[in-house]
Amino acid sequence: MTKCAAIQMASSPSISANLLEAEKLIAEAVKAGAKLVALPENFALMGDHEQDKIKVKEVDGLGTIQSFLETTAKKYGVWIVGGTIPIAGDDKNKVRAACLIYNDKGQRVARYDKVHLFDVHVPNTNEVYRESDSIEAGDDSLVIDTPFGRMGVAVCYDLRFPEFFRKMSEQGVDFIVIPSAFTAETGAAHWELLLRARAVENLCYVIAPNQGGFHKNGRRTFGHSMIIDPWGVILDCYKTGSGYVLAEIDHERITKVRAGFPVLTHRRFFCE
């Protein structure tokens, strides 16, 4: 069994302050036994305006935030799922919301670009989001081998598309990491519901680091970062503010649940 952690933050417009907070929480999680630590979406920057991320975008493979992830993973000997950071794309006026994965030697082993972009008017509020104005969408899912099992990665709004997760399931995932910045309104309505559904549907663990608190830009995020087992049991939850959740990935648990409740072998329709 392997202990994994999901970090919760209330990130600000200050990259340096956010990185200091992230390292502090990573160090605490590692001290508690975590071998893999996942950061939330936008962990390094929650700007005053959507366009702020474009001003600080990094070239793939070079930049302050990427150096931080590399150095921190190596320093603490831990795998890091690096939330999302703004990486330059094809359009100079936009970025990719890239989730970079580093192994315990500080080597980058994978990159996932957020596929589904949050273009919504949140019901019963004045909150309007248009991520597509500043972000280029990715075009594929990610599943990789790790020392802890097969890991899938998704980001925030991806959570609402079950077919996206089923595609990962067909590649044999043991756990899925979902860095997020769910709003307070949508989080209260759907966060736990959707996370537990994705875990139950695919009979896998879900590790869900979320932004949680009040942000300088006026936004309020839901928090409640959690880790969920293949039966939909919440193993740990951190409600609001900065902190982390910690739980074990138990492969015997995955095998037992899938053998006793073989939903995945009963499927009759498959993704293309």
pLDDT at 217 (0 to 100):
87
pLDDT tops 70 at residue 271: no
156 is catalytic: yes
String of DSSP letters for 105-143: TS-EEEEEE--S--EEE-TTSS-EEEGGGTEE-----EE
Average pLDDT over residues 223-242: 98
pLDDT digits (tens, 9 = 90+) for 1-22: 899 999 999 999 999 999 999 9
Burial (CB < 10 A; 0-12, 13-18, 19+), residue 47, is buried
Among 1-5, 50-54, 144-148, 225-229, the minimum mean pLDDT is found in 50-54
How far apart, in whole angstroms, are the C-alpha atoms of residue 179 and residue 157?
10
Q: Count other Cβ atoms within 10 Å, centred on residue 19.
A: 20
Listed in sequence order, the residues at least 6 apart from 162 whose beta carbon sits closer than 8 Å to its beta carbon are 197, 198, 201
Question: Do the strands 95-102 and 135-136 form a parallel or antiparallel pair, or are they unpaired?
Answer: parallel
Structure tokens at 207: 């590790």
pTM over 0.95: yes
Domain range list for the chain: 2-264
- Catalytic-role residue among 35, 53, 114, 167: 114
Q: Provide the pLDDT for residue 235.
A: 98
| 71-85 mean pLDDT | 98
pLDDT tens, residue by residue, 120-144: 998 888 888 999 999 999 999 999 9
Range of lowest pLDDT (13-27, 39-53, 95-109): 39-53
CA distance 37 to 29: 7
CA-to-CA distance for 245 and 6, rounded, in angstroms?
5
* Ranges of H-type helices in the chain: 15-31, 52-55, 64-76, 162-169, 184-186, 192-202, 251-260
- Is residue 41 part of the annotated active site? The answer reads yes
Q: pLDDT averaged over the chain?
A: 96
Q: What is the pLDDT of residue 270?
A: 78
d(CA 191, CA 212): 12
252, exposed or middle or buried, with CB in 10 Å at 0-12, 13-18, 19+? exposed
As a whole number, mean pLDDT of residues 51-57 equals: 93
156-170 pLDDT, tens digit per residue, is 999 999 999 999 999
pLDDT band at 26, cuts 50/70/90? very high
Task: Give the contacts of 201 (CB within 8 A, at least 6 positions apart).
Answer: 162, 165, 166, 169, 263
Query: Residue 91: its pLDDT value, please?
Result: 94
Catalytic residue among 41, 58, 131, 192: 41
pLDDT higher than 70, residue 272: no
CATH classification for the domain delimited by 2-264, as one of 3.20.20.240, 3.60.110.10, 2.40.33.10, 1.10.10.10: 3.60.110.10
- Give yes or no for residue 247 having a pLDDT over 80: yes
Contact 152, 142 (CB under 8 A): yes
Helix axes 192-202 and 162-169, enclosed angle (nearest 10): 30
Residue 77 has pLDDT above 90, yes or no: yes
pLDDT at 66 over 80: yes
Name the active-site residue from 4, 99, 156, 204.
156
